[in-house]
Amino acid sequence: MQYDFYKSPLLRVYTEIEDGHMRMKTSGAASILMKKNLEKNLSVFEGEKPAKVEAGRLICSTWMPPIPSPGFDRLVKSQLFSILGKKIPDQVTISITEECPNNCIHCALPDTKNRAKLTPETVKSTIDQVLEMGTTFVIFDGGEPLTYPDLEDLIRYVDSEKAITGMFTSGVGLTEERANRLKEAGLYSLTVSFDSAHEDKHDHVRGRKGVFKSAVEAVKNGLKAGLLVNIYVVLSRDNVNELEDLYALASELGVHELSFYEIVPTGRWMDHASEIMTPKDLRKFDNFVSGAREKEGPRVFPIPQVMKTTGCMAGRKWLHITPEGNILPCACIPIPYGNVHRDSIKDVWKRIREDPAYNAKCCLMRNPEFREKYLKVLE
Ligand code: SF4
Ligand code: SF4
């Protein structure tokens, strides 16, 4: 079976699933002219496992609209614009509430304790604006988004012809019934955070007993409800030795994807700039990723590796809205370029794009020069 990423009289980009892996292919006159660019962009899919293959529908990743779908066509259009120099915030995370029952060591939210939240009207206006700009992935984030009573209404509000919806959760409060309600509202992917494959360690990092059990239940309930389920791990020096255990847990639970990010010194972790992963840790991670590709089990999405090809997404492909309405270039850069309560998101995006910092190849929050120049202003 072939799945078309793009098809026109001059260019066809498609994938074939061979032995459970994606093999990227191109044809047409333009494929020769665009060879270098295509190779670079398609390398992130080549040889990878997809998250799910259905009859007539391919889900490369829980982070991307399915193929075929109108949302995926919009994403391809956005990538073509990007090659021509026009950047679109493909992914927008909306931190709808600061409310959260947990107390994670590495939380990206500052400890304001003011329990801010966005009203449903403000979130809907934000959704309208970003869909108009071309966004294809709207993610509801927190705090803990499950504490937000109108969550289902917000999910339903996102036009599924334009974008998919996702939710980042610790899993606390995701009962079977709630998972069914989220599915019915149109939630596309559920992302549940794990810091460790071991209960005690996970609960320690999350600052509360019982969070591990809730996360496991949330995954099971999400799968039962028919949602695409992604386990999300923020890798640090502390849990990099648990990669195989985390893969075993994800396989046992039967999730569609296991995504890894690298710890970023921000929020409660702001002063820990020197505690980022070492080159040895990163080599360990690289070896694990190559091995997992050939194993039975879920797709692994190694964000730090993918970013070596795509560059840092802050203010280039990603926008983040905080519970106070501040508009940030990504969830980890605490620099407000505007606020949804008074500014048009399009104008703020333009302002961010005018700043040459937001074309970075590597993580800006791990870049000492960026921290020195930009974060000093906040002190
Ligand atoms: S990281 Fe998420 S779950 Fe943990 S305290 Fe922060 S908002 Fe809550
Ligand atoms: S600065 Fe870039 S790499 Fe770092 S967290 Fe933000 S988007 Fe990710």
Tokens of 75: 């994403």
Q: In angstroms, what is the span from residue 105 Cα to ligand 2's centroid?
A: 19
Q: Between 40 and 376, name the one with better pLDDT.
A: 40
**Amino acid (one-letter) located at 312:** C
Lowest-confidence segment of 87-91, 189-193, 307-311, 334-338 by average pLDDT: 307-311
Query: Of the ligands numbered here, which is closest to the C-alpha atom of 141?
Result: 1
Mean model confidence pLDDT for the chain: 94
Instruction: For ligand 1, atom 7, name the residue with the nearest CA.
Output: 143
- 3-state SS of 108-126 is CCCCCCCCCECCHHHHHHH
* Dist. CA 154 → ligand 1 center (Å): 20
Instruction: Please say if the pLDDT value at position 311 is more than 80.
Output: yes
State whether the beta carbon of 242 lies less than 6 angstroms from ligand 1.
no
pLDDT on residue 272: 72
Q: What is the pLDDT of residue 108?
A: 75
Q: What is the pLDDT of residue 264?
A: 87
What's the gap in Å between 181 CA and the centre of ligand 1?
Answer: 23
The answer to whether the beta carbons of residues 325 and 118 sit under 8 Å apart is: yes
Is residue 268 predicted with pLDDT exceeding 80? no
pLDDT greater than 80 at residue 377: no
Distance in Å, CA 231 to ligand 2 centroid:
19
Residue 36 pLDDT > 90, yes or no? no
Pocket test for ligand 1, best of 105, 109, 191, 263 (most atoms within 8 A of CB): 109
Q: Is the CB of 357 under 6 A from ligand 2?
A: no
Type of residue found at 281 = D
CB 143 near ligand 1, within 6 Å: yes
pLDDT band for 29, please (50, 70, 90 cuts).
Answer: very high
Distance between CA atoms of 167 and 137, rounded to whole angstroms? 10
- What digits encode the pLDDT tens for the residues 337-363? 999 999 999 999 999 999 999 999 999
Angle at Cα 219 formed by Cα 217 and Cα 222, nearest 5°?
Answer: 105
In whole angstroms, what is the distance from residue 51 CA to residue 73 CA?
A: 19
* Closest alpha carbon to 238 in 201, 207, 193, 191: 201
Determine how β-strand 228-235 pairs with β-strand 189-193: parallel
**Ligand that lies nearest to the alpha carbon of residue 331, given by its number in the listed order:** 2
Quote the pLDDT of residue 87.
96
* pLDDT computed for residue 221 by the predictor: 98
Going by alpha carbons, the residue nearest to atom 2 of ligand 1 is: 143
Share above pLDDT 90 across residues of the chain, in percent, rounded to a whole number: 83
User: How far, in Å, from the CA of 197 to the mean position of ligand 2?
Assistant: 25
Instruction: Say which range, 65-79, 97-111, 266-280, has the weakest mean pLDDT.
Output: 266-280
**Which structure tokens are listed for 10?**
């001059």
Pocket of ligand 2 contains residue 333 by CB under 6 Å: yes
- For the CA of 211, the closest atom of ligand 1 is 3
How many other CB atoms are there within 10 angstroms of residue 92's CB atom? 25
Ligand 1 center–CA 366 separation, angstroms: 21
Q: Is 319 exposed, middle or buried (0-12, 13-18, 19+ CB in 10 A)?
A: buried
Q: Is the CB of 332 under 6 A from ligand 1?
A: no
Q: How far is the CA of 304 from the centre of ligand 2 (A)?
A: 10
Find the angle CA(90)-CA(329)-CA(91) to the nearest 5 degrees. Answer: 20
The per-residue pLDDT for 274 is: 66
Lowest mean pLDDT among 38-47, 100-109, 291-300, 314-323: 100-109
Q: How far is CA 362 from each of CA 11, 44, 264, 367, 371, rounded to the nearest angstrom?
A: 31, 16, 12, 8, 13
- Give pLDDT, residue 168: 98
Q: Where would I find the beta strands (DSSP E) of the chain?
A: 2-7, 12-18, 21-27, 52-54, 57-59, 91-95, 137-141, 164-169, 189-193, 228-235, 257-262, 299-302, 318-321, 326-328, 338-339
| CA 327 to chain CA mean position, Å | 17
In the chain, the percentage of residues whose pLDDT exceeds 70 is 97
Query: How much is the pLDDT for 37?
Result: 85
Model pLDDT, residue 116:
92
What is the predicted pLDDT for the residue at 84? 86
Residue 49 has pLDDT above 70, yes or no: yes
Residue 17 reports pLDDT greater than 80: yes
pLDDT tens profile 116-140: 999 999 999 999 999 999 999 999 9
Band (110; pLDDT cuts 50, 70, 90) = low
